[in-house]
Amino acid sequence: MDSQTTIDQNRYRRILQFFSGMIAHVIWWDLMMRRVPVVRQRSLATRPQRYREIAREFRGLAIEMGGVMIKLGQFLSSRVDVLPIEVTEELRGLQDEVPPADTRQVMGLLYEQLGDIERRFESIDPEPLAAASLGQVYRARLLPGQGESGPGERVVIKVQRPHIEDMVRTDLAALRVVARWLMRYKPIRKRANVPALMEEFARTLWEELNYRAEADNAEEFARIHADNPRIYIPKVYREHSTERVVVLEDVEALKIGDTAALTEAGIDPQEVAELLLEAYFRQVFVAEFFHADPHPGNLFVRPDPEPWASPAFTDQNEAASQARTFQLIFVDFGMAVRVPKSMGENLRKVLIGVTQRDAHRLTEAYRDLGFFLPGADLERITEAQEVILNQIWGRNLLDLAQPDPREIEAIGREFRDLLYDLPFQIPQDFIYLGRALGMISGLVSQLDPHINPWRQIERYGQQLLRTQSLTHLRERGLAGIVETLRPYLETPLRIQRLLEEAEKGRLRVQLKTDRDVLRQQERLEKRVGQLGWSIVSAAGILSATLVYLEHRRDKRGR
């Protein structure tokens, strides 16, 4: 038995030991002890601290072992929709805590992949620019004649960590066992196919290890945004890239999350937030291919030359009053996901449904996306969607962050059957889109809490409506014209029905006394947040925003 096999077996055992202990802890405290009247209150009171401690232990294990464990922790840290806030807060630090691999080993792999690197690079910085879970990045300068833009071009070299493929293979084998364990619990089995989600995670992970694919992704994103000079994708140096090494243009700039630096440079953070939303609307709804890892380390802002340097400005005071223009830069294209065709069509239905505030259309789209359990009451879900859309429509992020407790109570009372039954499940194809949009929501909120996301939603929704209407008219002729006009022809009848319902008093929210609901107000608030995620934000547009804001509200409430 060689040493590598022994190391793999040790990793395998350690992963299984950690997760078996975690599952045993949850079963004992959160399933069994909660049924014992004497200790039930203690189980509830200690839950946040217990979960935080479990997450802290996992973070320590991930930092020590590296590989997939860090990648898994980073993935989970963004899933504020399905994990307690104590867990996501504790794991968030994994974005910046990845220990670097030994540079001598990394340089050895670089020599192995590219041969005599002295014939390619004038210099390579000895210290890594960044250490990621699967690879390591170094700044370098090309030799004259090795680039396209001139002598001594600045580049970054991304090299895989030594033995990373063996680590990934071992870690995934252990996590597949854990996924089968989780499926033994009926509430999980009912709402998620964990082994299928695990395979989606594994597939994307293996794709991320193929740096030729990353180079392809970078070039495809460059094509997607080619008509927008405000979005920049670094150039790929194919002649210096392999399956385990990729060389990209060095695009050093301001970090997107550093709002103080942006403001100091004369850049309006609100404009950055709007451009970021625009980029993701285009990737998801038009190109159906999106950057799936938009954490702050992968997004930068590069200021353009000072506006007063332009001949267009003859008045210095006028120039100084103008916000500085900039480019939004994407880097690290290893985790990029193509939206399945059927999913893309339904996501567009969701966007149009939200634009028109059409709860029936939303329900149909969510059903086709796979968000509802078999037998779910679609009419009741549609009613809930309509109420929530009317409550949140047009509000900016700051307003959504401070919901009226009376609204929460009213929704909780009216739809308590949905809150307790929760007839929703997690579609397999949605895990990376939900994660990416959750991260985008957090960045947008950080850049501008006053931003109104509905403006982008309406703009893209109307654009899709126009495109689909023209296509439909061409395909259907007169029948298409009638179908397109039907909603407008039916509008007076809908208004009449609405007035009749108002006259009958059926539009009022009934606030009946319910002691059980009042005593469980905190639980209701949490589930209202989950309801918002599941039925209003299923396609990711509203989900990320509402869940992130619920996250912030809970933090302030503690």
DSSP string, 55-77: HHHHHHHHHHH-THHHHHHHHHH
- Across all residues in the chain, what is the average pLDDT? 80
**Is the pLDDT assigned to residue 269 strictly greater than 90?**
yes
Question: How many domains does the chain fold into?
Answer: 2
Nearest 5°: the CA angle 124, 214, 136 is 35
Domain end position, chosen among 133, 150, 182:
182
Distance CA 167, CA 68 (A): 7
Q: How many CB atoms lie within 10 A of CB 73?
A: 25
Question: Whose CA is closest to 16, among 165, 172, 125, 138?
Answer: 172
Q: What is the DSSP code (8-state) at residue 534?
A: I
Question: Whose CA is closest to 544, among 255, 262, 290?
Answer: 290
Give the C-alpha distances (Å, rounded to integers) separating 445 from 398, 452, 544.
8, 10, 10
Whole-number pLDDT of residue 297: 86
How confident is the model over 300-325, as a mean pLDDT? 63
Question: Whose CA is closest to 205, among 344, 331, 306, 334?
Answer: 334
**pLDDT confidence tier of residue 170, bands split at 50, 70 and 90:** very high
CA-based max dimension of the chain: 84
**pLDDT confidence tier of residue 517, bands split at 50, 70 and 90:** very low
Percentage above 70 pLDDT, the chain: 76
Give the C-alpha distances (Å, rounded to integers) separating 259 from 71, 255, 297, 396, 443.
27, 8, 14, 19, 10
Whole-number pLDDT of residue 150: 57
**pLDDT confidence tier of residue 159, bands split at 50, 70 and 90:** very high
**Is the pLDDT assigned to residue 323 strictly greater than 90?**
no
**pLDDT confidence tier of residue 254, bands split at 50, 70 and 90:** very high
**Is the pLDDT assigned to residue 105 strictly greater than 60?**
yes
Domain end position, chosen among 182, 204, 220:
182
Question: Whose CA is closest to 400, among 556, 549, 535?
Answer: 549
Say if strands 326-330 and 299-303 run parallel, antiparallel, or are unpaired: antiparallel
Query: Per DSSP, what are the bridge partners of residue 121?
Result: 142
In a domain, 141, yes or no: no
Whole-number pLDDT of residue 511: 39
In a domain, 276, yes or no: no
Question: Whose CA is closest to 343, among 546, 538, 197, 194?
Answer: 538
In a domain, 415, yes or no: yes
Domain that holds residue 553: 341-557
What is the phi-psi region of residue 374: left when phi exceeds 0, alpha when psi lies from -120 to 50, beta otherwise? beta
How confident is the model over 386-408, as a mean pLDDT? 73
More confident call, 118 vs 532: 118
Question: Whose CA is closest to 408, among 256, 525, 320?
Answer: 525
Distance CA 268, CA 447 (A): 9
Question: Whose CA is closest to 277, among 525, 484, 35, 444?
Answer: 444
Domain end position, chosen among 152, 182, 212:
182
In a domain, 511, yes or no: yes
**pLDDT confidence tier of residue 535, bands split at 50, 70 and 90:** very low
Whole-number pLDDT of residue 148: 64
CA end-to-end distance (rounded Å), the chain: 53
Q: What is the DSSP code (8-state) at residue 140?
A: E
Whole-number pLDDT of residue 360: 93
Q: Could you write out the DSSP letters of every residue in 318-378?
A: HHHTSPPPEEEEE---SSEEEPPHHHHHHHHHHHHHHHHT-HHHHHHHHHHHT-B-TT--H
Give the C-alpha distances (Å, rounded to integers) separating 160 from 5, 41, 90, 457.
20, 49, 27, 39
Distance CA 170, CA 69 (A): 11
pTM of the model: 0.78
Whole-number pLDDT of residue 473: 43
Give the C-alpha distances (Å, rounded to integers) separating 82 from 32, 526, 529.
22, 11, 11
Whole-number pLDDT of residue 397: 60
In a domain, 539, yes or no: yes
In a domain, 157, yes or no: no
In a domain, 44, yes or no: yes
**pLDDT confidence tier of residue 427, bands split at 50, 70 and 90:** confident
Give the range with max mean pLDDT: 112-116, 219-223, 458-462, 515-519: 219-223
Q: Which amino acid is at 47?
A: R
Question: For the segment 435-476, what is each residue's pLDDT rounded down to a tens digit?
Answer: 898 888 888 888 988 877 767 777 777 777 776 655 554 455
Distance CA 488, CA 481 (A): 12
In a domain, 20, yes or no: yes
**Is the pLDDT assigned to residue 78 strictly greater than 90?**
no
> Residue 51 contacts by C-beta under 8 Å, 6 or more apart in sequence?
84, 86, 87
The pair of three-digit structure tokens given for residue 70, joined into one six-digit string = 């860090």
> Residue 46 contacts by C-beta under 8 Å, 6 or more apart in sequence?
29
**Is the pLDDT assigned to residue 314 strictly greater than 80?**
no
Give the C-alpha distances (Å, rounded to integers) separating 215 from 86, 139, 178, 234, 495.
37, 17, 33, 10, 54
